[in-house]
């Protein structure tokens, strides 16, 4: 919606098409970067330890969120190509490192308890991921409604655009910082 109503001006038909194409292009760059980054993530984990690699990944995601504020600019949509170098690399690193940390936790648990419970750890991780995925759409919709967004209109108020940008940039950065 930020691409449609802020970057591309809100002319619904043209802005929707152009915004969707721009989002698809930037997302494609992010996906390619995420796949290409796996050897780098492995190197960082070996060189600086996994927990530090996770901190770096979360920091990259925070930087990506904050950069949303300056990269979603009317008349300069190509700035969005900067974002995957932070957010996409950060999120792919997070998922990669978390999976390897789960194996370490399973081994430490076996040393402490004498029981091998990787199935339990895997089940809890899968349940948490599915739970977050299930409520994600509800939270996103509630946050969009809280910004003052009005569906079905070609334009949004300047206050709504500002609220949407804050929720898109600073709110996730704050949550990721807590992580």
Taking 90 as the threshold, does the pLDDT of residue 16 lie above it?
no
pLDDT classification of 153: cutoffs 50, 70, 90: confident
Closest CA to 100 of 27, 41, 163, 169: 41
Taking 90 as the threshold, does the pLDDT of residue 48 lie above it?
yes
Of 9-13, 17-21, 85-89, where does mean pLDDT reach its minimum? 9-13
Q: Number of C-alpha atoms within 13 angstroms, CB side, residue 137?
A: 3
Q: Rounded to whole angstroms, how far apart are CA atoms 93 and 99?
A: 10
Q: Rounded to whole angstroms, how far apart are CA atoms 140 and 65?
A: 15
Q: Please tell me the predicted confidence (pLDDT) of residue 60.
A: 95
Write out pLDDT tens, residues 64-106.
999 999 999 999 999 999 999 999 999 999 988 988 898 899 9
pTM: 0.85
- DSSP letter at 5 equals I
CB 80 within 8 A of CB 69: no
Percentage, residues of the chain above pLDDT 90: 69
């Amino acid at each position: 919606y930020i691409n449609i109503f802020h970057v591309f001006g809100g002319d619904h038909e043209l802005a929707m098409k152009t915004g969707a194409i721009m989002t698809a292009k930037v997302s494609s760059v992010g996906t390619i970067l995420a796949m290409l980054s796996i050897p780098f993530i492995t190197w960082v984990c070996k060189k600086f330890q996994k927990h530090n690699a996770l901190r770096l990944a979360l920091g990259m995601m925070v930087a990506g969120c904050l950069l949303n504020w300056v990269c979603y600019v009317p008349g300069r949509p190509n700035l969005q190509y900067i974002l995957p170098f932070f957010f996409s690399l950060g999120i792919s690193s997070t998922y990669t490192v978390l999976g390897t940390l789960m194996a370490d936790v399973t081994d430490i648990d076996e040393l402490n308890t004498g029981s091998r419970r990787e199935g339990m750890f895997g089940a809890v991780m899968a349940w948490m991921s599915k739970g977050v995925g299930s409520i994600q759409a509800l939270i996103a919709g509630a946050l969009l409604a809280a910004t003052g967004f009005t569906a079905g209109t070609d334009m949004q108020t300047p206050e709504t655009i500002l609220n949407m940008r804050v929720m898109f940039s600073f709110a996730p950065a704050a949550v990721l910082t807590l992580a």
